[in-house]
Each structure stands twice: as structure tokens, then as C-alpha cells.
Amino acid sequence: NAGVTQTPKFRVLKTGQSMTLLCAQDMNHEYMYWYRQDPGMGLRLIHYSVGEGTTAKGEVPDGYNVSRLKKQNFLLGLESAAPSQTSVYFCASMAGGFIGNQPQHFGDGTRLSIL
């Protein structure tokens, strides 16, 4: 049972390059989320999706785009990488139904460095 899988696990980019981070979940969850984690700042929500084909902006969406073409996958794109986007990125998913008491389930992260 893989749960939430993120690829790649590590990546180094040069400023201005683009890339896509992939999140895949095998739990048939409706909701998916992308966070970034920076020292002393906890987790900040970048974008999220409440179902296949839907996306919405979170707290810090600038410089990122997302797509949810398939229910199990949630892609995070960096259009033109900047050093300020150096971070650890986490994907999470959550079941539907009564969502008040549902926990989010996290992947192990992608460590991204922008030079």
C-alpha cells in the first residue's frame, strides 16, 4: 500500500528552468494539496484540488501552476524557477464524504534547490 508517492525526491535546478513535481495517491481520495515547508514557517498551502478536474489557489500560489487531470494525480509546475522557491514540497490527499474529521495523508516530500 503505497499511499501518497512524490517524484522526484530530490532535484537541483538553475534559475529560470521549469519543472513538474508529480504526486500520485492510490487511496481514491477526492482532495489533494500541495504545500511547501520552510524553516520556521511551518507548512504553507500552495494549491489544492477538491476533485478531478478542479484546482484552486492556496496561501502562496505565485510562481506555481497545478493540474488534476486524473483523480489519482496532482501535478505541481514551476514555470520559471527562482531561488526563493528552494524548499521542501509536500503533497497530501484526503478522503471525501464528511471532511470535518478526515486527516490529510502526506507523501515524503520533494527537496528542491534552485541555484
Partner 1 sequence: AQSVAQPEDQVNVAEGNPLTVKCTYSVSGNPYLFWYVQYPNRGLQFLLKYITGDNLVKGSYGFEAEFNKSQTSFHLKKPSALVSDSALYFCAVRDLGSSNTGKLIFGQGTTLQVKP
Strands across the sheet containing 4-7? 4-7, 19-25, 73-78, 64-67
Taking residue 15's Cβ as centre, other Cβ atoms within 10 Å add up to 11
Which of residues 17, 19, 43, 86 is near partner 1 by CB under 8 A? 43
Q: Under the criterion CB under 8 A, does residue 45 sit at the interface with partner 1?
A: yes
Q: Using CA atoms, how far apart are residues 93 and 98, in angstroms rounded to an integer?
A: 15
- DSSP H or E run through 66: strand 64-67
Which residues in the 53-82 window bind partner 1 by CB under 8 A?
A: 56, 58
Residue 1 in contact with partner 1, rule: CB under 8 A: no
DSSP β-ladder status, 19-25 and 73-78: antiparallel
Q: Select 38 or 79, whichever has its Cβ closest to partner 1.
A: 38
Among the listed residues 15, 18, 41, 70, the single contact to partner 1 using CB under 8 A: 41
Among 17, 65, 67, 104, the residue binding partner 1 under the rule CB under 8 A is: 104
Stretch of residues binding partner 1 (CB under 8 A), selected from 13-21, 60-68, 73-81, 93-101: 93-101
Residue whose C-alpha is closest to residue 89's, from 103, 75, 70, 102: 75
Q: Which residues bind partner 1 (CB under 8 A)?
A: 4, 31, 33, 40-43, 45, 48, 50, 56, 58, 90, 92, 94, 99-109
